[in-house]
Amino acid sequence: MKPFAITLGDAAGIGPEIILKAAWEAPELLGGCFVAGDFEVLHRAAGWLRDTVKAPAAHRPTLVRINHPAQALTLPAHHLPVLSVASLVGGVEASPPGRISAAAGRLAGECVVWAARAALRDEIAGLVTAPLHKEALAAAGPPWDAYPGHTELLQAEAAAHRGVSVADMPVRMMLANEELRTVLVSIHVALRDAIEAVTTDNVLRTVRITDAALRPVLGRAPRIGVAGLNPHAGEGGRFGREEIDLIAPALDLARREGIDARGPYAPDTVFMRARQAPGHPGEFDVVVAMYHDQGLIPVKYLGVEQGVNVTLGLPLVRTSPDHGTAFDIAGQGVADASSLIEAVRVAKRLAAHRVG
- Fold that domain 178-302 belongs to in CATH: Isopropylmalate Dehydrogenase (3.40.718)
Mean pLDDT, range 179-183, rounded to an integer: 96
Asked if residue 307 has pLDDT above 90, the reply is no
Distance (Å, whole) CA 222 – CA 90: 49
Is the four-CA dihedral 333, 71, 83, 159 of positive or negative sign?
negative
Over residues 231-258, the pLDDT tens digits come to 999 999 999 999 999 999 999 999 999 9
The residue among 225, 249, 224, 244 whose CA lies nearest residue 234 is: 244
Amino acid sitting at position 139: A
Residue 55 CB neighbour total at 10 angstroms: 12
For residues 82 and 37, is the Cβ–Cβ distance under 8 A? yes
- pLDDT (0 to 100) of residue 355: 52
User: Is pLDDT at 356 greater than 60 in this prediction?
Assistant: no
Q: Where are the domains of the chain?
A: 1-170+317-356, 178-302
- CATH architecture of structural domain 1-170+317-356: 3-Layer(aba) Sandwich (3.40)
Q: Do domains 1-170+317-356 and 178-302 have the same CATH topology?
A: yes
- Mean pLDDT computed over 126-147: 96
* Axis-axis angle for helices 200-218, 338-353 (nearest 10): 80
| Interval 137-150 mean pLDDT | 94
pTM recorded for the entire structure: 0.91
pLDDT score, position 354: 74
The pLDDT tens digits for 46-86 are: 988 877 766 555 567 889 999 999 999 999 878 999 999 99
Q: Mean pLDDT throughout 308-328?
A: 95
Q: In terms of Cα–Cα distance, which of 91, 107, 97 is closest to 139?
A: 107
